[in-house]
Amino acid sequence: MTPGQQSLVEQARARFGERVAVTDAADVEPWLTDWRGRWHGRSAAIIQPSSTEEVATIVALASELHVPLVPQGGNSSMVGGSTPPPDGSALILSLRRMNQVRSIDRGSMRAVAEAGVILQSLHEAALAQGMRFPLTLGARGSATVGGLISTNAGGTQVLRFGPMRALVDGIEAVLPDGTIHHGLTGLKKDNRGYSLDQLLVGAEGTLGIVAAARLKLVPAIHARAVAWLGLASPQKALDTLRALEAGTDRIEGFEILPQESLQAALDHIPGTRAPLDSGHLWHVLVEATADCADAEPPAEQLARLLAPLVERGLVENATISATEAQAEAFWRIRDSLSEAERVAFGPATQHDISVAVENMPLFLAEAAAEVERAFPGTSASGFGHLGDGNIHFHVRAGTRGGPDWLEQEGYAVQRLVDDLVTAAGGSISAEHGIGVMKKEELERLQPDRVRHLRAIKAALDPNAIMNPGKLV
Ligand SMILES: Cc1cc2nc3c(=O)[nH]c(=O)nc-3n(C[C@H](O)[C@H](O)[C@H](O)COP(=O)(O)OP(=O)(O)OC[C@H]3O[C@@H](n4cnc5c(N)ncnc54)[C@H](O)[C@@H]3O)c2cc1C
Atom of ligand 1 nearest to the CA of 435: 49
151 CA from centroid of ligand 1 (Å): 6
CA trace torsion 465, 46, 51, 151 (10° rounding): 60
User: What values do phi and psi take at 171, rounded to 5?
Assistant: -135, 140
Note whether 164 and 144 are within 8 A (CB): no
Buried b (16+ CB within 10 A) or exposed e, 92-116: bbbbbbbbbbeebeeeebbbbbbbb
Atom of ligand 1 nearest to the CA of 153: 11
- Which protein residue's CA is at the shortest distance from atom 50 of ligand 1? 139
pLDDT in tens, the chain (472 residues): 999 999 999 999 999 999 999 999 999 999 999 998 999 999 999 999 999 999 999 999 999 999 999 999 999 999 999 999 999 999 999 999 999 999 999 999 999 999 999 999 999 999 999 999 999 998 999 999 999 999 999 998 999 999 999 999 999 999 999 999 999 999 999 999 999 999 999 999 999 999 999 999 999 999 999 999 999 999 999 999 999 999 999 999 999 999 999 999 999 999 999 999 988 999 999 999 999 888 899 999 999 999 999 999 999 999 999 999 999 999 999 999 988 998 999 899 999 999 999 999 999 999 999 999 999 999 999 999 999 999 999 999 999 878 789 999 999 999 999 999 999 999 999 999 999 999 999 999 999 999 999 999 999 999 999 999 999 9
Atom of ligand 1 nearest to the CA of 338: 1
> What pLDDT does residue 350 have?
93
Strand partners, 144: 118
Give the residues surrounding ligand 1 with Cβ less than 6 Å away.
Answer: 35, 70-78, 81-82, 95, 115, 137-139, 142-144, 146-148, 150-151, 153-155, 204-205, 209-210, 431-432, 467, 470
> What pLDDT does residue 85 have?
97
369 CA from centroid of ligand 1 (Å): 32
- Which protein residue's CA is at the shortest distance from atom 20 of ligand 1? 148
CA trace torsion 116, 200, 197, 8 (10° rounding): 60
If one counts every other C-beta atom within 10 angstroms of the C-beta of residue 301, the result is: 22
> Rounded CA gap, 37 and 265, in Å?
23
152 CA from centroid of ligand 1 (Å): 9
Which amino acid is residue 297, in one-letter code? Answer: P
> What pLDDT does residue 36 have?
84
Note whether 96 and 27 are within 8 A (CB): no
Which residue from 34, 58, 76, 431 has its CB within 8 A of the most atoms of ligand 1, so it is best to mutate?
A: 76
Which residue from 54, 77, 207, 457 has its CB within 8 A of the most atoms of ligand 1, so it is best to mutate?
A: 77
> What pLDDT does residue 16 have?
98
Atom of ligand 1 nearest to the CA of 211: 41
Its pTM stands at 0.95
Which residue from 33, 97, 148, 150 has its CB within 8 A of the most atoms of ligand 1, so it is best to mutate?
A: 150
Atom of ligand 1 nearest to the CA of 149: 21
Which residue from 98, 137, 165, 439 has its CB within 8 A of the most atoms of ligand 1, so it is best to mutate?
A: 137
> What pLDDT does residue 138 have?
86
- Which protein residue's CA is at the shortest distance from atom 8 of ligand 1? 155
Atom of ligand 1 nearest to the CA of 137: 8
Atom of ligand 1 nearest to the CA of 150: 34
Which residue from 96, 114, 151 has its CB within 8 A of the most atoms of ligand 1, so it is best to mutate?
A: 151
SS3 content of the chain, % helix, strand, coil (to 5): 40, 20, 40
- Kindly report the length of the chain: 472
> Rounded CA gap, 467 and 207, in Å?
8
